[in-house]
Chains A and B, each alone.
Chain A
Amino acid sequence: SQTIHQWPATLVQPVGSPLSLECTVEGTSNPNLYWYRQAAGRGLQLLFYSVGIGQISSEVPQNLSASRPQDRQFILSSKKLLLSDSGFYLCAWSPGHSRETQYFGPGTRLLVL
């Protein structure tokens, strides 16, 4: 069966510091991968999605970036965090080459102070 991991689970970072959140998927090959952000008490905002290694589509212009160095690894980064980057970050995967259900990881709670 497939599983999706995210770490860290929680993170407190000062404004201006860098960020690296990692997401990995097990038990599948060539998945579509997604990064979402959920601000406190709000819905999900799609940040990035990837259909393959090195292929990243950005949905919202911001100071965040994403990379996919390996088939089942998706990384969310920032060079300098802003207060507004605080939120709950969710990674999701869906079977590649099809429009299937997205399955979500446990999420990372980021607080920027």
Chain B
Amino acid sequence: AQKVTQAQTEISVVEKEDVTLDCVYETRDTTYYLFWYKQPPSGELVFLIRRNSFDEQNEISGRYSWNFQKSTSSFNFTITASQVVDSAVYFCALDYTGGFKTIFGAGTRLFVKA
């Protein structure tokens, strides 16, 4: 079965702290894609990153970085020096070979306090 687990329901940090959002996935497919989306209070989901199953290189984009480890089926997201504007719900998602469907995790709500 395809599944995405985001065990952290809510995280609260103080501005400038680093924070890591965990994502664990399950799939039997060898070809799949993993995503992170950000949902600010306005509601619209904003695409952050897409990673395919054959590319385990970590990625850094400004204060954001992603750690993909197939050995542990994890695709964790770290925000360095968090800011109040990072407050949002973050979703991890899995797109597998089975079709045009994407499985979303339950989301992690991040609060960054000034």
Contact = CB atoms under 8 A, between A and B. Distances in A.
A32 B95 CA distance: 14
How many chain B residues sit at the interface, stated as a range, is 10 to 19
Which of B42, B44, B105 lies at the interface centre, i.e. has the most chain A CB atoms within 10 A of its CB?
B44
B102 A46 contact: yes
Contacts, number: 44
Interface stretch (A12-20, A72-80, A103-111): A103-111
Contact of B44 (A43, A94, A107): A107
B50 A43 contact: no
B42 to A, nearest CB: 7
A63 interface: no
A46 B37 CA distance: 15
A19 to B, nearest CB: 18
B101 interface: yes
Contacts of B50: 101
Contacts of B47: 101-104
B43 interface: yes
A88 B47 CA distance: 18
Given A42-B106, A43-B106, A43-B107, A99 B100 contact: yes
Interface in B63-114: 91, 95, 100-102, 104-107
18 contacts: A42-B106, A43-B104, A44-B104, A46-B102, A49-B100, A49-B101, A59-B101, A90-B43, A92-B45, A94-B100, A99-B100, A101-B47, A104-B44, A104-B45, A104-B47, A105-B44, A106-B44, A107-B44
Interface of B: 33, 35, 37, 42-47, 50, 91, 95, 100-102, 104-107
The 9 tightest CB contacts between A and B, nearest first, are: A104-B45, A43-B106, A44-B104, A107-B43, A106-B44, A101-B50, A43-B104, A32-B100, A43-B107
